[in-house]
Chain A
Amino acid sequence: MSDLRIPIGIFFTLVGLVVGITGLAAAYRAPLEFANVNLYCGISMLVFGGVMLWLARRSS
């Protein structure tokens, strides 16, 4: 495998999308939740995954 950042980047991009879309749909709520946890965490993971992929692309 050439660069570990690629699978890690793809993984977090996918998980970020799944969690973020769940947040947009506002399908679930947790008892003490006071913000759209899924949406913000989804966006964060999407950004993290994107940065990993960008770093891998830049160094190749």
Chain B
Amino acid sequence: MTLAPVDYLILSLYFAFVLGIGWLVKRKVATSEDFLTSGRSVPVWITSLAFIAANLGAQEVIGMCASGAKYGIMTAHFYWIGAVPAMLFVGVFMMPFYYGSRARSVPEYLKLRFDEKTRALNAITFAVMTIFSSGISMYALGLLFELVLGWSFTASVLLSAAIVLVYTFLGGLTSAIYNEVLQFFLIVLGFAPLAMLAVYKAGGWPGMASRLPPVMTHTWSYVGDASQNPMGVEAFGLIAGLGFVLSFGYWCTDFLVIQRAMAANSMSAARRTPLIAAFPKMIMPFIVIVPGIAALALSHMALGYSIPAKAGGGLDYDQTLTTLMAQFYPSGMLGVGLTALMASFMSGMAGNVTAFNTVWTYDLYQGHINRHAPDSHYLWVGRVTTVVGVGLSIGTAYLASHFNNIMDFLQLVFGFVNAPLFATFLLGMFWVRATGHGAFSGLLAGTAAAAATHGLTLAENKGGWLGSVLHTFPSTMAQNFWIAIFAWSACFLVTILVSLASQPKPASELHNLVYGLTDIPHDAHLPWYKRPAPLAIIVIVALIALNLIFW
């Protein structure tokens, strides 16, 4: 793929605008809370789009297109049951506690609700994870640009990291959030035409369906039995593992996304943030997954297009998106498409960096190292942490390029730590009796259960390191779903048992933290489109319709 001067012009325009937005926002930063939490001042349409854009990293866009080509429309489960229901739940039921508690971060909520050790456990694992995930996505992007455009790995990694650093350093969270909105529109306007062109060329949805095996164009028809679908998953594992444990664990507890909602300018806006975000989220499969399915159909059509082959055999699905762009976009739109890819990478990285500096500054530095400094000191620490976070991410990207096995291992361990989280938050928010000892031991038990499940089962030669294999899964995806189910159940049970055996916090300390001791916001005076419940009902109806159409 070769770029023309017009493509570079568009890319430079984009760089100028993201830096310009950072520069314009800089004036608003006077305190550490302005820098790290936007001072709770952002309008709801902005927080909503930032809420999904922060999650829409380059790996997501490239990976979803690849999965579309590999697994078909079943990939949409990651959106329709693997994200949207959890987004509704966090908006309607959990945001009153997050926002109402006045906590500045998710780990700080755990400190207020439970105790210091539960916060420290969550803060440390979260901080390490954000650095690694931004490093890994930086590595993936550098590799892709090297492969497709012949750009130097070092140059593209350093340039993109430097730009993210400058605008998050200048304007903090507000700058990251404002840029995420620009990035969101760019991703949609850059990729949606590609989806339309590819689908049209492949003969529309009926044309695609006629060229592909039926499993590629149905979401639910083939999940009765794991052997019937390319994902190798069955309905229960899919619904309980992905739709409940993993999805709620991410969307309801991950500070990267919750931080965007907590930056909203009122309780009502914070609750509506994930609900409004659910609308574009539902539509995203048509922009990121469907082009992958169309690419597979096109490669059966003797047009001279095919998904590139891997050196070791099989298809290199990660190249689906970029090869499709090269086929349909002339220079001009090609520049917009690549800029959109760059934008998705930057929104993901800025999301990680801004979540990392808040957790480090408030939960680890202020919580454990230096408790009583003036606010200007924490503002300074926040800025320094931004630089350190970007530096560590770059280091991780290089680590990933040399030691791929370490990265795979770390991602596995993070999976074990994350799987039980939702049980802790669910009990913390809705059961007054849950205690700090209960939450902490529940998290440890859940992580241990996840590791044990992986050690005692086998899938595609992964796992089974505890010696005896009790079960073999048809795919690692199915194995992951079941690891999550066991981890969640262990955490849920152990938290309850240990809580019952330990001393509860007095009710006076739990005000605004737990259901029953919190003033639930009344919104009857607001028009229907500003109330969480009607918005959630509209989303549910649309969601059911989408699932039936693509059943």
Contacts and interface: CB of A to CB of B under 8 A. Distances in A.
Contacts of A45: 189, 336
Interface string A1-12: 100100110111
A28 B303 CA distance: 20
Contacts of B326: 30-31
A10 to B, nearest CB: 8
B305 A32 contact: yes
A7 B332 contact: no
Given A28-B331, A29-B330, A18 B189 contact: no
B452 interface: no
Contacts of A48: 185, 189
B185 A33 contact: no
Given A1-B25, A8-B185, A28 B201 contact: no
Interface residues of A, number: 29
A42 B24 contact: no
B298 to A, nearest CB: 8
A49 B182 CA distance: 11
A9 to B, nearest CB: 10
Given A27-B331, A48-B185, A7 B193 contact: no
A11 B189 CA distance: 12
Q: Chain A at the B interface: mostly helix, strand, loop or mixed? A: helix
A32 B21 CA distance: 37
B333 A19 contact: yes
Interface string B160-183: 000000000000000000100110
Q: Chain B at the A interface: mostly helix, strand, loop or mixed? A: helix
Given A4-B46, A4-B178, A18-B6, A28 B185 contact: no
A30 B21 contact: no
B204 interface: no
Nearest to B9: A18
Nearest to B46: A4
Contacts of B303: 32
A20 B328 CA distance: 16
A37 B197 contact: yes
B329 interface: yes
B327 interface: yes
Given A11-B182, A19-B10, A1 B328 contact: no
B6 A30 contact: no
A48 B332 CA distance: 17
Given A11-B13, A14-B13, A18-B10, A30 B328 contact: yes
Interface in A26-60: 27-34, 37-38, 40-42, 44-45, 48
Interface of A: 1, 4, 7-8, 10-12, 14-15, 18-19, 22-23, 27-34, 37-38, 40-42, 44-45, 48
Interface of B: 4, 6, 9-10, 13-14, 17, 20-21, 24-25, 28, 46, 178, 181-182, 185, 189, 193, 197, 200-201, 298, 303-305, 326-336
20 contacts: A1-B28, A10-B17, A12-B189, A15-B13, A18-B6, A18-B9, A19-B332, A19-B335, A19-B336, A22-B332, A27-B331, A31-B304, A31-B326, A32-B327, A33-B197, A33-B330, A37-B330, A37-B333, A41-B336, A45-B336
